[in-house]
A and B are shown apart, each in its own frame.
Chain A
Amino acid sequence: MLNITRRRGERIVLGDDVFVSVLEVSGQTVRLGIEAPRSVRVYREEIWLEVKRENEAAAHAASAALPNITAPLKADSGPQNTSGTVVNRTPPPAS
């Protein structure tokens, strides 16, 4: 890992168009300012990591556990009908 020491007000440049500024240093906390093109997505690592993990968990869960994905697949033809009901997706209530 590249290791760079910076003081408050100094910056580093990633490539030609991403600038990271040290705005404030206070105890254990550093405030950074990030200037990047709009196309660059910037996340706090812990948020990025938890979403990545949920995406992976969704992709790897056993499909047999999913209800009603049994008929031959076809491409969804448009937006979902949000007026539909979900009650037929659960087992009938015990009577």
Chain B
Amino acid sequence: MALAIESTRFGHVEIDPETVIEFPDGLIGLGGSRYALLTGDPGSSIVWLHCIDDPTLSLPVTDPHRFFSDYQVELTDEDGERLGLDDSTSVDVYVTVVAASELSAFTANQKAPILIWNGRGHQIINQAPGCDLRAPLFAEVLSARSGPDPADA
């Protein structure tokens, strides 16, 4: 049976219970214990992480590897142990996106990625060096576009 949320952003949304992601600790500072990834367009690189228990709470997120070619996630030993994660675990990585009116002003938070695996999600503090709280999301795309041959972008 489908779950339904009356999203304040999107209206009535039906969610396949199979796609529900449990967040035992919620998102940092925001809470919420169950979310789902929603998209309006299968080809879209930005998707919505929508809270199931709070119809007013949804965040755009994206796969950082699409935008930041050398992006890495490093956990503290404590987080690795707490989450039962090691190098062999395959996880989906998302970063939160702050939208703006101009694409060049979109930013993504590289410092607090959301890791999702086995139907569970955790937002962690990334220990990898050089992570930016507000990394321009389209910087690599736009600089590739402004290069001498945009067709190669």
Contacts and interface: CB of A to CB of B under 8 A. Distances in A.
B38 A75 contact: yes
Interface in B125-153: 125, 133-134, 138, 141-142, 145-146, 150, 153
A84 B44 CA distance: 9
Interface in A33-89: 38-39, 41-43, 47-59, 61-63, 65-77, 79-80, 82, 84, 86-89
Contacts, number: 152
B143 to A, nearest CB: 11
Judged by DSSP, the binding face of A is loop
A29 interface: no
B9 A58 contact: no
Interface of A: 38-39, 41-43, 47-59, 61-63, 65-77, 79-80, 82, 84, 86-91, 93
Interface of B: 9-10, 13-16, 19, 24-25, 27-30, 36-41, 43-48, 57-61, 63, 65-67, 78, 81-82, 92, 96-101, 103, 109, 111-112, 123, 125, 133-134, 138, 141-142, 145-146, 150, 153
- 7 tightest A-B CB contacts, nearest first: A52-B29, A76-B37, A61-B99, A58-B96, A71-B40, A75-B19, A51-B112
20 contacts: A43-B125, A49-B29, A54-B134, A55-B29, A55-B109, A59-B57, A65-B101, A68-B41, A68-B44, A70-B41, A73-B39, A73-B40, A75-B16, A75-B37, A76-B47, A82-B66, A90-B103, A90-B142, A93-B146, A93-B150
Given A56-B29, A62-B99, A68-B40, 11 more contacts: A38-B81, A41-B82, A54-B109, A65-B99, A65-B100, A67-B46, A68-B44, A68-B46, A76-B37, A87-B153, A90-B141
